[in-house]
Amino acid sequence: MPLTSAQTDVAIQALNRFAVELPSWGFANTGTRFGKFIQAGAATNTPEKIADAGQVHQFTGCCPTVAVHVLWDFAKGLADVPEVLQVAAAHGVAIGAINPNVFQDQCYKNGSLGNPDPEVRRMALSHILDCVEIQRATGSRDLSLWFADGTNFPGTGSIRARKQWFTEGLQATHAALSGNQRMLVEYKPFEPAFYHTDIADWGMSYIYCKQSGPRAKVLVDTGHHYQAQNIEQIVAWLLSEDMLGGFHFNDRRYADDDLTLGSIDPYQVFRIFHEICQFAFETGTTPDIPYMVDQSHNLKNKIEEMIQTACTAQELYLKAALVDHATLAIHQKSGALMDAEECLRAAFFTDVRPVLREWRQMKGMAAEPLKAFRESGYTAKAEAERGARNLGAVSSYA
């Protein structure tokens, strides 16, 4: 059944306000701990990553910013900022969240801010504070903090001491923020630490954020949860506490699989968006939540998977926006269980692709982004320009 005129208006407004941020590292050759599968057209440097992100935004209209990883994208630190900003502007995107790297270097074998060695903790904090300066120079609002810190065996670290060291490091980071800058603290129950992780769930992140200050919020990665955990409940709680800072979107079958958004459980993503849309309906305010993709594009064409992801995110957000929240509230209050659930199901099973095609054409874009990108010839050009560099690379264990 086609959308009514009123529903179409709601849909267009929802699409106009929805945006999802792309990760620069998603365009480069990446792999698993077992190895890499090289793609001839993958980006080989930061300008190419940004150029590829610009393609996704050009064909979807909903990806105006690119998250960057310091070390991977700013090898020279602040000195790289002018070039990165110039390249981003040339490709019609802006720099989004700044991601420090305190997990890759050998010194972080036993942790970063939670390392028992005070010199390593100092090095980690120094790097994070350098990232705050890059955040300021690029005009980025969000510093996205993820830590691999933890232990693998019982008794090998003091959990309470590490908690204190993290508190001190995060408070020092918060003190360095200014203007509209924020810090988002991510959590993960396990991997690479398998006995205990220093920030293992949303409650731990919440406590660190509250202890750090008002610029600190919780970042939810949809893959960073135990099997069958109710992520939308976590989202609802964080919304009610004004502590939801943003998302890293992906999908999973087992653990942190980093699969394409919605490829395994699109209904879960819809339910998450529904909690956000329902919050907006109940409070009359639209929560300021950045959505970012964080996936490992090892097998699919990287740009095509990003386009697929962005379109899926648009569809699922649009479905959530079409829930009849007023009717749902009546059913919830009266305990009409079937009718309440059908409000969600009716929206979820609505075919929103026609209105998406209409919206794209209104914006001067092709109605079918993936098809249009394939016909553009960009992939063949990228493979021709980058193929020798990529195919000459030696596969290595990640």
Residue 22 in contact with residue 63, Cβ under 8 Å?
yes
How high is the pLDDT of residue 73?
96
Residue 54 in contact with residue 396, Cβ under 8 Å?
no
| Bond preceding residue 369 cis, omega within 30 of 0 | no
Q: Pick the closest to residue 217 from 186, 189, 250, 179 (CA basis).
A: 186
Token couple for 69: 């990883």
Res 145 pLDDT > 80: yes
Average pLDDT over residues 368-373: 98
260 forms bridges with which residues in the sheet?
Answer: none
How high is the pLDDT of residue 33?
67
Least trusted range by pLDDT, from 76-80, 93-97, 296-300: 296-300
How high is the pLDDT of residue 392?
79
Handedness of CA 227, 325, 64, 246 (dihedral sign): negative
Res 397 pLDDT > 50: no
Q: Radius of gyration over alpha carbons of the chain, in Å?
A: 21
Q: What percent of the chain has pLDDT above 90?
A: 94
If one counts every other C-beta atom within 10 angstroms of the C-beta of residue 297, the result is: 26
Mean pLDDT of the chain: 96
Residue 393 in contact with residue 44, Cβ under 8 Å?
no
- How many angstroms separate the CA atoms of 61 and 369, rounded? 9
The count of residues in the chain is 398
> pLDDT-derived band of residue 281, with 50, 70 and 90 as boundaries?
very high
On the 0-12 / 13-18 / 19+ scale of CB atoms within 10 A, 75 is: exposed
How high is the pLDDT of residue 393?
63
> pLDDT-derived band of residue 32, with 50, 70 and 90 as boundaries?
confident
Q: What is the pLDDT of residues 159-212, one digit of tens each?
A: 999 999 999 999 999 999 999 999 999 999 999 999 999 999 999 999 999 999
- How many angstroms separate the CA atoms of 398 and 25, rounded? 14
Residue 4 in contact with residue 348, Cβ under 8 Å?
no
- Taking each helix axis from N to C terminus, what angle separates 5-17 and 302-321, rounded to the nearest 10 degrees? 130
> pLDDT-derived band of residue 2, with 50, 70 and 90 as boundaries?
confident
Res 304 pLDDT > 80: yes
* Domains of the chain and CATH, by start: 5-391 (3.20.20.150)
Phi then psi for residue 154, to 5 deg, are -60, 140
How high is the pLDDT of residue 297?
87
Res 290 pLDDT > 50: yes
How high is the pLDDT of residue 395?
45
Token couple for 34: 């077992």
Res 270 pLDDT > 50: yes
End-to-end CA distance of the chain: 48
- Taking each helix axis from N to C terminus, what angle separates 81-90 and 46-60, rounded to the nearest 10 degrees? 30
Token couple for 89: 């502007």
Token couple for 138: 């690029």
Distance, CA of 84 to chain centre: 20
Predicted TM-score (pTM) of the model is: 0.96
Average pLDDT over residues 317-337: 98
On the 0-12 / 13-18 / 19+ scale of CB atoms within 10 A, 135 is: buried
- Letter for the amino acid at 263? S
How high is the pLDDT of residue 293?
98
- How many angstroms separate the CA atoms of 390 and 269, rounded? 34
Q: What percent of the chain has pLDDT above 70?
A: 98
Res 298 pLDDT > 50: yes
The CA dihedral of 20, 23, 24, 30, to the nearest 10 degrees, is: -140
How high is the pLDDT of residue 396?
43
